[in-house]
């Protein structure tokens, strides 16, 4: 009897991802752990973590984040969630952006001492977490759940791959009720950030993100037209486009 109980417990922890990250879900009901059919998922713990350990430059205090037990609990709640088409588009969008960012931080913490996410072997293709019983990698979240299933180019300003040239990690969680405004604000911050893009009336020098995912931004017009939506300075519709080198240094404090 005791052997059967131990085996059942081990299977549960493996399926939820708890064994992977060294924590157990807290007993009893949790407002985050059981989304209803509309997908109501409370990201307030993640928001508090970001406010405590990410500064206004988007730099992460990885040491403090790694010591904070709330991170493990939040990752456990993400793992138990089952986002699906019964959730609204905005609920899925907020969930997957937050999940990408949280598990990216977990990946960095799992490789102490790295100076860049690219120091990790196959960081985007390594399956190291579960959500809804499915083992996943970061590429699945970005390219399937977000780019394919949601198809909103603004997600590129919300997901952060732990690198300096990425959009700054905003120190608040994305939420379903505010996601459109939050992503518009993220687009405006990123496009007008002189450390990530250089805008001028006749020439723009853009982040490589606009090169790698150009098809996402040009589905309904040219790349310059997309930039002009958020640019705070005048940019000619015939401005020339160049791309900046990408800085893969870790976005750490």
In the chain, where the domains are located: 12-28+42-196
Range in 12-21, 143-152, 165-174 the model is least confident about: 12-21
Query: Percent of the chain beyond pLDDT 90?
Result: 84
Instruction: Give the residue ranges of DSSP H helices in the chain.
Output: 2-16, 18-21, 44-53, 62-67, 69-80, 89-109, 138-139, 179-191, 209-212, 214-217, 223-230
Q: Are 205 and 197 in contact (CB under 8 A)?
A: yes
Range in 8-22, 119-133, 156-170, 189-203 the model is least confident about: 8-22
Q: Please, which residues bridge with residue 242 across strands? A: 205
Q: How many CB atoms lie within 10 A of CB 243?
A: 16
Range in 10-24, 71-85, 189-203 the model is least confident about: 10-24
Local structure of 203: helix, strand or coil: strand
Range 168-183 average pLDDT: 97
> What confidence score (pLDDT) does residue 227 get?
98
pTM for the complete prediction?
A: 0.85
Q: Is the pLDDT of residue 13 over 70?
A: no
Range 153-182 average pLDDT: 97
Q: Tell me which of 14 and 197 has the higher pLDDT.
A: 197
> What confidence score (pLDDT) does residue 39 get?
53
Local structure of 204: helix, strand or coil: strand
> What confidence score (pLDDT) does residue 40 get?
79
DSSP class of 119:
G
Q: Please, which residues bridge with residue 131 across strands? A: 134
**pLDDT tens figures, 24-82:** 333 333 333 333 344 579 999 999 999 999 999 999 999 999 999 999 999 999 999 99
Summary mean pLDDT of the chain: 88
Q: How far is the first Cα of the chain from the last one, in angstroms, to the nearest whole number?
A: 51
Q: Angle 211-213-219 (CA atoms, 0-180°, nearest 5)?
A: 110
Range in 40-44, 155-159, 192-196, 245-249 the model is least confident about: 40-44
Q: Please, which residues bridge with residue 249 across strands? A: 116
Range 80-91 average pLDDT: 94
Backbone Cα Rg of the chain: 19
pLDDT tier, 204 (very low <50, low <70, confident <90, very high otherwise): very high
């Amino acid at each position: 009897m005791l052997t059967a109980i131990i085996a059942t417990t081990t299977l549960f922890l493996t399926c939820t991802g708890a064994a992977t990250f060294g924590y157990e879900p807290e007993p009893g009901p949790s407002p985050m752990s059981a989304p209803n059919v509309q997908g109501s998922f409370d990201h307030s713990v993640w928001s508090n973590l970001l406010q405590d350990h990410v500064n206004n430059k988007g730099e992460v205090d990885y040491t403090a984040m790694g010591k904070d037990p709330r991170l493990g609990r939040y990752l456990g709640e993400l793992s138990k969630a089952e986002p699906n088409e019964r959730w609204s588009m905005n609920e899925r969008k907020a969930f997957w952006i937050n999940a990408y960012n949280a598990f990216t931080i977990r990946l960095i913490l799992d490789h102490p001492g790295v100076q860049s996410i690219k120091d990790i072997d196959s960081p985007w293709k390594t399956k190291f977490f579960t959500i809804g019983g499915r083992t996943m990698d970061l590429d699945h979240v970005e390219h399937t759940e977000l780019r394919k299933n949601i198809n909103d180019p603004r997600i590129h300003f919300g997901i952060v791959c732990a690198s300096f040239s990425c959009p700054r990690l905003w120190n608040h969680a994305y939420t379903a009720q505010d996601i459109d405004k939050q992503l518009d604000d993220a687009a405006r911050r990123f496009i007008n950030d002189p450390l990530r893009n250089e805008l001028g009336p006749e020439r723009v020098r853009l982040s490589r993100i606009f090169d790698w995912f150009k098809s996402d931004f040009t589905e309904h017009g040219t790349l310059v037209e997309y930039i002009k939506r958020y640019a705070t300075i005048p940019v000619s519709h015939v401005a020339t486009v160049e791309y900046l080198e990408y800085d893969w240094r870790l976005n750490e404090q």
